[in-house]
Structure formats: C-alpha cells, structure tokens
Amino acid sequence: MKITDVVSHVLQYDLPHELGYSQQFYTRRTAHLVEVQTDEGPVGWGECFGPGNVALANKAIVEKVIRPMVVGRDPVDREVIWHDVYNALRDHGQKGMPIQALSGVDIALWDLTGKIAGLPLCKLVGGQVRERIPVYGYGMMLRREDPASLASRFKNEATAIKDAGFVAAKMKVGLGARDDVRLVQAVRDGVGDVFRFMVDANHCYTVADALYVGRALDSMGAYWFEEPVAPEDLDGYRELRAKLDTSIAGGEAEFTRWGWRRLFDGRCLDIAQPEVCALGGVSEYLKVVAAAHTHFVPVVNHVWGSAVAVAANLHLLAALPPLPGGLHPTEPMLEFDTTHNLFRDELLEEPLDIAGQVARTDGYAGVPAGPGLGIVPDRGFIARYRIE
C-alpha cells in the first residue's frame, strides 16, 4: 500500500455568540482535518491544532511541504516518515506550525495503520487499560460584559456542567487578578464545596499575579491551575509549584520530546497536558508520555478541536497506564468543550455523543469501536463547511 495524496480540509462557521479567553475573543469555529489517501482505498484521518488563519498556514505546510515528502511511501512507516519530515524542517521550525502540521499527518498515518492491521488505536499503541474515560466539562468562557454579570453567568454555567453529569468543570480567567478571584469564587459557589473544578489562565499572569490568584485557589480547593504564566517562563512555573498547594498544569503549548524534556527536567509541572494535534502527533505523544512517567508526572491530555481530535484522545487515554498505580489510581480525564461546536457534534457519520454518554453514565465516555480511530467523517458535512 502506498500513499497517493495528503489533503487538508479547513472547516469554519460563525458561532452563535462571541467567545473569549485571556488572549483574544473569537466569533468563528475552525477545524483543520488531514486526510491521507492510498492506492488501495483506505484513508486515514488526522487533525492539526490551530484556529483561523493559523489553520490556513498549516494547510500550506501540510500540502506544499509535507505532502511531496510522503506521497509514494508506505503509510505504516510512521516513525520513518516522522523523522524524515522533522529533520527536513528542523532548520525552519522545531516548534509551532510546522509541528502542528506534522501532527495532523502523523495522526492520519496511525489511523491508517490501525485500519490496515484491523486494530483500534488504543490496542495499536499498547493495549486498552480502561473501557471508559471520565469526562470533565470545559466552559465558562470570557465575554464582553461587566465582571459582576460574568461572575453570575459563570456560577450558573458551572452548576449546569455539574448537573449534566460531568466529573469536574474547568473555567477561564483573564480579567485581571482581583476580578478573576471573584470569578473563581462564583464557580466554587456554583459547584459546591467538594466538586472538582479547574482554572485555566492561558498564560496571562506574571508570577506575582499568579501567586495572588493561586493562593485564592488554594483556599477554595481548586483541582489544578492551568498555564498560569507564559510557557517560556520555566522559572516561573517552578516558583509557583514550590509556593502553591494547588497543582500546576500545563504543556499544551509545548512541542516534541525535546521541548517537553525541559519541562520535566525542570520539575515545572504537577500535571502534564500534551496536545496530540500540536506536539507532533501520536508518535511524539507516546514519547512525551514515557518521559512524563519517568518523572512520575500524571498526564491529562489537552483536547480542543473536532470529533477527530476527541476520538484520538479517547483512544490515547484508554491506553494510558495509571500513575503511580495501585488499587485506586487517579484516572486521567477527557477534556470536553461544552461550548457550541458543530465540528465535534455533527462531523461524523456516527456521532460520538459525548454529552449524551456523560448524562447516561454519570460522567463517562466509551472508546470508539472499529480499527484506527474508529470514526468515519461525513464528506457531505465537510463539503458544506470547507473554506479551503
């Protein structure tokens, strides 16, 4: 079997209302799917992390740079292809968009390999540790409204996420340290005293402001504090981890085993959050997980994208060994964006229906059945929302 083509599908639609986080507001949802075609019929599907114009830039890298390097090759040669592409692009980008583009191609090659072998991805990468994955609900995005109104909305949304059956909830912050503490208090009030909740800053704080917010999180029992400072500020991560009781999470903006090595060697994280659609695909994700385990750092994947990304992460989380183990290990959770996302809910011929599964099972989702990712995208849907 040989690869005959690599095609990018950039999908986009207008959201019902504007959403935001600490770095920007956005009005459109974007997804960048990668399709690897073969001469014998089977195709593989992957996804590249990156919204809006970033997706268009990644599309150019996929089709103009990576495609000529892989057409004609055996799709099962995933590691060979990965290193050939990385070595060719090393002088032009060891992080960022070239690696995001490579990620989508690599995920598609793993999907193809699973179809060729007749095995689901979770079996292909080592075996299925768990049949179902606990799911946390991610919402409470920023909007252009006064802090008091936003706090009231966050409280109600947090309650709704809990009532929907999710095992935990995650919120955004980014108004400024003092107003953010008020948002956090509203979420704690909304979910009650014992329900797990997490706070995602998207690296908006200085260390001083992160300490101010983090001490409030300590007093309110937050489960983790995500990306409190810039991803480049490893000293800041170390200082926060040393001074706060709340677990420090991060890593979604880090790439490849070499970037992650600095985070682990520096003892920067309590919880690692690799993003498989960005860091280099499944091939590189497995190496990052191995490195995390050598440092005894638990892994909870970062997930943001379409049903392709969700399916890939369900398989990877199903195969993730417990750390450190025992009779009652802490289970990794699937991150589920509860905001409006047609590319997650309507992309597939047979939708994953994560929210429905959560409601029926008190917070859990199953792994897609079938070889590879176990999903089939609806080509009519893709054609309807494809912009490039």
Phi, psi of 85 (to 5 degrees): -70, -45
- Cα–Cα distance, 58 to 278 (Å, whole number): 11
Closest to 279 (Cα-Cα) out of 266, 268, 296, 292: 292
Q: Which is nearest to 340 in space by CA: 138, 136, 47? A: 138
CA distance 111 to 371: 8
Residue type (1 letter), 366: G
Q: Quick check: 281 and 315 in contact, CB under 8 A?
A: no
Asked whether the CA dihedral 171, 174, 177, 182 is positive or negative, the reply is negative
| Helical (H) or strand (E) element with 28 | strand 24-38
CA distance 32 to 20: 20
Q: How far apart are CA 304 and CA 335, in angstroms?
A: 8
Among 32, 203, 302, 315, which one carries the catalytic annotation? 302
How is residue 2 annotated by DSSP?
-
Of the candidates 95, 46, 29, the one whose C-alpha atom is nearest the C-alpha of residue 252 is 95
- Quote the tokens at residue 184: 């956090």
302 part of the active site: yes
| Residues 112/43, Cβ–Cβ less than 8 Å | yes
Enumerate the β-bridge partners of residue 126: none
Residues annotated as catalytic (active site), given as ranges: 302
